[in-house]
Amino acid sequence: MISYLVAIAIIGLIYVLLGLALNLQWGQTGLINFGHVASFAIGAYTSGLLSLAGWPIPLCMAAAMVLAGAAAWPLGRLTVTLKEDYLAIIAIGFSEVVRSVLENEMWLTRGPSGVPGIPSLFSSLPAAERGVAIMVALLIAVALVFLLLERLTRAPFGRALRAIRDNEMAAAALAKNIVSFKTRSLVLGAAIAGLAGAFYAHYLTFISPEQFTPEVTFNVWIAVIIGGSGSNLGTILGTFLLILFLEGTRFLNDLGLSLDGSQLGALRFMLIGAALVLCMLFRPAGLLPPSSRRG
Amino acid sequence: MLRVENIHKSFGGLKVLQGISLEAQPGTITGIIGPNGAGKSTLFSAISGFLKPDAGSVMLDGERLDGLRPDLVAARGLVRTFQVPREFGDLTVLDNLRVAGSQMTDESILAALVFWRRTAQHESEVTRRAEEMLQRLNLAAVADNQARALSGGQKKLLELGRTLMVNPRVLLIDEPFAGVAPALRDQLVAHLKALRTAGICVLIIEHDIEAIMEISDRICVLVEGAILLEGTPAEVQRDPRVLSAYLGSAPA
């Protein structure tokens, strides 16, 4: 039971990292990044493959952040010519391109069968303690990322991002370089998502393209929206609720239902959908929105 | 000095600006009037970099501005407002001004994480200027309210204050009096006149003929994408073509 809870906590904390990254891009900057999973995948594959090539894991994780961030840079530059909403389409395209590269570039990614045998973090520890150690490392990473983002949010940098989110043309008229701010927000968010991917790879020790479907992107979106776009604390709460729902609904049969696997799966998503609709009806700004959106 | 020369702009087959030229000196107010669809706002967009003119040039004190991105035009001291106020709705009134007053160098990630001491110094200076501006515009009472909660007239004032935080040399103001209550109107007139005293070169688009005649040094009448007439308010008001072209097609 403990190891199950630790496993959920680890996946939950990885989703928190993804959520905090998206909250920077969407909640602060207003970027509709529907390709978030791409940065996650690039981070996971970069760190996984480099560690298999013999690099020390901390270095692999740093490389994962750098590469995931760098891959988002062209996406930011594209916003020069794109009106806000079209970024959403381009970003979905980007994440699907990344996924098909993972599926088809056998020489690099080993294709659809995935990459097994990735070195685990803290591999010298016995299995049970290893999980706890990874969880603690993730807690520290989440705390650092949270503090970093809170600092940036309160700084003139975050204020400029929110100004661009609220009215791009007005910000440009006040001498703000829109593309530069958007690119920085995308790249920093992608680097954080890359870190999440690296943790994911070195926790599961196996990654494959089918783990990086758009469903991941939209789960993170649900977490940020339920929690309260623009608020880092809200994002953490939203992720917690999302994981509670995703995991909790696994045990529906214990309530006396007798459903087979696929029925249960369908019911879970109906419940999650209903929860999202109810949340948007009664708390349209999310459960814990930034103070500027309360009331 | 702002010198706009022979600006052309078409959208498809529609020629919106057909060779507009004008000059404006620091410390003067130029009123731009004309019927709806004459191309006034398009002219502002072409001057401020939001639209790329098909032909023609925009020079500010000898430096060429056409073809530059809008933020670079603004960074060189030519700042515009919009016909419909574009406040940063989620930001407080004070923050609307502080965003405008902050330099991009203080808005970097490194400025927040590494050079935070210097950033904080600059920030307190920006805050002081923003608070002064709020006093001047009579918005101090709503400093901590969100900008979206302001009235239409207050948003116009805020937008004016925001542009002033950039320290502009040229200010393009699009319909400052639209939707402004009479009580605020006199206040706005005083603010606009003060810009002239401050040595700013001001261009104003306005449908409120009485107000624009009162504050302008020169008036440009724009009709169908071309300048019909330019002169002092008195000259323009006497001209019979203005009455037929302007008042004839747009009830005042």
**In terms of CA atoms, which chain B residue is nearest residue A160?**
B99
Q: Do B80 and B18 share a structural domain?
A: yes
Give the mean pLDDT of A194-213: 97
Closest by Cα among A165, A174, A181, A22 to A84: A165
Q: Render pLDDT for B128-158 as a digit per residue (tens, 0 to 9).
A: 999 999 999 999 999 999 999 999 889 999 9
pLDDT of residue A208: 96
Q: Which of B149, B179, B197 is the last residue of a domain?
A: B149
pLDDT band at A189 (very low <50, low <70, confident <90, very high): very high
Are residues B162 and B81 part of one domain?
A: yes
Cα torsion B69, B74, B75, B78 to 10°: value is 120
> Do B11 and B67 share a domain, yes or no?
yes
Residues B144 and B77 in one domain: no
Q: How far is B158 from chain A (nearest CA, A)?
A: 12
Question: pLDDT confidence of B178, banded at 50, 70, 90?
Answer: confident
ipTM above 0.90, yes or no: yes
Q: Which domain holds residue B214?
A: 2-87+151-249
Q: What digits encode the pLDDT tens for the residues B70-118?
A: 999 999 999 999 999 999 999 999 999 999 999 999 999 999 999 999 9
Question: B157 with B119, same domain?
Answer: no
Q: Is residue B24 located within the same domain as residue B63?
A: yes
pLDDT at A26: 96
Number of domains in chain B: 2
Sequence letter at residue B135: Q
pLDDT higher than 90, residue A158:
yes
Domain boundary among B113, B130, B149: B149
Are residues B71 and B164 both part of a single domain?
yes
Mean pLDDT taken over chain A:
92
pTM exceeds cut of 0.95: no
Q: Chain B contacts of A188, Cβ < 8 Å? A: 109
Where a domain ends, among B101, B130, B149? B149
More confident residue, A177 or A260: A177
Q: What is the CATH number of the domain that holds B27?
A: 3.40.50.300
Kindly report the nearest CA distance between residue B107 and chain A, in angstroms.
Answer: 4
Q: Is the pLDDT of residue B252 over 60?
A: no
- Minimal Cα–Cα distance from B25 to chain A, Å? 21
Residues B81 and B200 in one domain: yes
Read off the pLDDT band of B248 (50, 70, 90): low
The lowest-confidence range among A76-85, B88-97, B156-165 is A76-85
To which residue do tokens 């200010």 refer? B171
In angstroms, the CA A185 to CA A159 distance is 12
Say if residue B237's pLDDT is above 50: yes
Cα→Cα distances B180→B12, B28, B177, Å: 35, 23, 5
B11 and B83, same domain (yes or no): yes
> Is there a single domain that holds both residue B136 and residue B169?
no
Q: CB of B66 within 8 A of CB of B53?
A: yes
pLDDT digits (tens, 9 = 90+) for A23-52: 999 999 999 999 999 999 999 999 999 999
User: Which of B79, B90, B116 is nearest residue A166 as measured by Cβ atoms?
Assistant: B90
Q: Do residue A172 and residue B70 have CB atoms under 8 angstroms apart?
A: yes
Task: For chain B, give the percent of residues with pLDDT over 70.
Answer: 97
B122 shares a domain with B58: no
The pLDDT score that the predictor gives to residue A233 is 96
State how far Cα A222 lies from the chain centre. 11
**B171 strand-pairing partners:** B79, B202
Q: Which residue has the higher pLDDT, A81 or B3?
A: B3
Say whether pLDDT at B249 is over 90.
Answer: no
In this structure, the answer to whether residues B242 and B173 fall within a common structural domain is: yes
Instruction: Give the pLDDT of residue B13.
Output: 87
A163 reaches B (C-beta below 8 A): yes
Percent of chain A with pLDDT over 70: 99
Helix B116-136, helix B152-165: angle, nearest 10: 130
